[in-house]
Homo-oligomer: A and B are copies of this chain.
């Protein structure tokens, strides 16, 4: 990772490195994060390592005890489920705000683009193989990020991002069960968009909330069946 920090500081690079390895699971829950060990591994001094650990502790990704150091936080499955529940409430709120405040031209275009691309992908789903899932994931990310942006609420964004930053709880990660389920979820995207455009905050909120919550169910199911074998791509 010596040169991975391109324009920014080593502290930020180390922070990213740790985040990635924690979220991806290559650093195991409970594992101690010793400063010297990490600094040797990453080829930097203790200072940026400490900076990163302090940030991550404040963000809730690692545990900290004074004079005893840091450890990868353990995320019991029950907490991942809770995180989804929270995300569902918060994204619902985001949709509400978006509907209350309306979309600017750019946001409207982004949403319509995502919807159209999703329609197109679904109509050709049979022909595309695994590529379908990868592309659809992008559609999904754009849709949710744009709604969030349209809520014009910085704090909400921070909190949702916080709930993303857990193993397996992200709109980038999870849960393609089958094409029909994705189809259904994309249909919900349409309904969310319509209710935002119609300026119906309550409806936008409840659809979005249910939309995200349904992914929670799918995640739980997939955790039950195959352990942690999360399929890449999907909708949420």
Q: A interface vs B, CB < 8 Å? A: 8-9, 11-12, 50-51, 54-60, 66-67, 79, 82-83, 85-86, 89-90, 92-93, 97, 153-156, 158-159, 162-163
Contact = CB atoms under 8 A, between A and B. Distances in A.
Q: How many copies does the complex hold?
A: 2
Given A54-B54, A58-B55, A67 B9 contact: yes
B82 A86 contact: no
Contact of A155 (B86, B154, B156): B86
Nearest to A11: B54
Contacts of A8: 66
A9 B79 CA distance: 30
A89 B155 CA distance: 13
A56 B90 CA distance: 22
Nearest to A50: B51
Contacts of A79: 153-155
A60 B157 CA distance: 11
A58 B161 CA distance: 12
20 contacts: A8-B66, A11-B54, A51-B54, A55-B55, A55-B57, A58-B59, A79-B153, A82-B97, A82-B155, A83-B155, A85-B93, A86-B93, A86-B153, A89-B89, A89-B90, A89-B93, A155-B162, A155-B163, A159-B159, A159-B162
